[in-house]
Amino acid sequence: MRPFALLLLLWGASSACAQTDVGPGDVASGEVPTGGVTSSEVAPEAVATGLDEPVVIPPAPSHFMGRRIATTMHWQGAPWLLRETREEEEHAARLLAALAVEPGMTICDLGSGNGFHTLPLARLVGEGGAVWAVDIQQPMLDMLAERVEAEGLDNVVLRLGNEIDPMLPARAVDLILLVDVYHEMSHPEPMLARMHAALAPGGRIALVEFRGEDPDVPIKPLHKMTRAQAIREYEAHGFRAAGSFDELPWQHLLFFVRDDEPASGPGTPR
């Protein structure tokens, strides 16, 4: 990697992570988010979210299954997510290809941020498909809304989730993509349960995390995960490991399916 690119990355990572003093409980200024924003007509009415009911977020645990939970990247670090060097560093095009997205699919970009992956996914699923972009920070969704509008996409549904609920429809999502977000979910247990409930028959989770085993990946250890830890957490919560893609420079891409799905079939990565 060029020294400048590395510098930029380290700056970005540290700025993003340094801002994590603002924890997930603070990002909504102490208010519990209760609403969603849609940018299209893609069946938002199909979601039984109880949006008007107050949501009580329990205190966040510091650890989950032996792993220290990272604090949430603050929305003010969002420009780092769209840095020019990101494609080169993460090979995002290769990641997208490994997801085997097909036209017409319903995908959730969970923890979408300002939508680095959302827009390419929306182009891939096409007019007959939909991408649910879920985040717990409204400013992230506002930035994404501008990008969606500039691209003229009408198959993206923006939804403000909360720390325990991504507000997804039940049994409706073919693929849930989590890029660099799972490790910073303040309440992984209820989120795993909601993801499990949201997967359509044959649906897959695609978990992308910086490799915790690799000291050469220039990201703070708290913002990385090992393959073994990720599999341990998902397999303890109703999922089965269903393959991986090991050709990304810095990240794991691990696939999971519901463990009540057949052992092989449409949920298995192609």
The size of the chain, in residues, is 270
Give the C-alpha separation, 264 to 235, whole Å. Answer: 16
Decide if 129 contacts 107 (C-beta within 8 A). Answer: yes
What type of residue is 104? G
Give the C-alpha separation, 42 to 231, whole Å. Answer: 33
Convert residues 198-227 into a mask of x (bound to ligand SAM by CB under 6 A) and - (unbound). ------------------------------
In the complex with ligand SAM, which residue's Cβ is closer, 106 or 112?
A: 112
Give the C-alpha separation, 239 to 122, whole Å. Answer: 26
Site for ligand SAM contains 89 (CB under 6 A): no
Site for ligand SAM contains 134 (CB under 6 A): yes
| Binder of ligand SAM out of 161, 169, 212, 267 (CB under 6 A) | 161
Site for ligand SAM contains 137 (CB under 6 A): yes
Site for ligand SAM contains 119 (CB under 6 A): no
Per CB under 6 A, the segment of 5-13, 97-105, 177-185, 250-258 that binds ligand SAM is 177-185
| Binder of ligand SAM out of 99, 106, 116, 229 (CB under 6 A) | 116
- Kindly state the tokens that stand for 176: 């849930």
Burial class (CB in 10 A: 0-12, 13-18, 19+), 40: middle
Residues that bind ligand SAM (CB under 6 A): 24, 72-73, 81, 110-113, 116-117, 134-137, 140, 161, 163, 166, 179-181, 184-185, 191
